[in-house]
A = this chain, B = another copy of it.
Amino acid sequence: MVETRQVINFSEKLSKITDLWQPRIIAEMNDYQFKVVRIEGDFIWHDHPETDEAFIVLSGQLRIDFHDRAVSIGPGEMFVVPKGVEHKTFAEREVHLLLIEPRGVLNTGNAGGDRTAQNDIWV
């Protein structure tokens, strides 16, 4: 089998994204996807009843609020939000994230609403 995939540079992909809170697919591994996203400000409370969700911070400082605590995640750090656990992301200044989750996951999970982004756009 000939291998034709390309090396993926996170900064180069992020430079092509203009909108905040719009995850863009950069790679697939089996039925999982890697997505980059630029965020700033507050998101909405939601959970993903069917899957864990992994966050890797590429730049900036991310806060994830849970109902009983909050975690702060910086560059070179990661966090896995367990399935079914309600959470809310927050970034005081712009944060660049790498998300890893199964294909088809919506950013707003079970909550829906007008913050829901398209979940099938590659960059």
Contacts and interface: CB of A to CB of B under 8 A. Distances in A.
Interface residues of A, number: 43
A5 interface: yes
Given A29-B100, A30-B52, A52-B29, A77 B10 contact: yes
Contacts of A30: 51-52, 83, 102
Interface string A27-68: 111101010000000000000000111101010000000101
Interface of A: 1-3, 5-11, 26-30, 32, 34, 51-54, 56, 58, 66, 68-69, 71-73, 76-85, 87, 100-102
9 smallest CB-CB distances across A and B, nearest first, come from: A29-B52, A3-B66, A29-B54, A3-B85, A8-B78, A9-B77, A30-B52, A10-B76, A29-B80
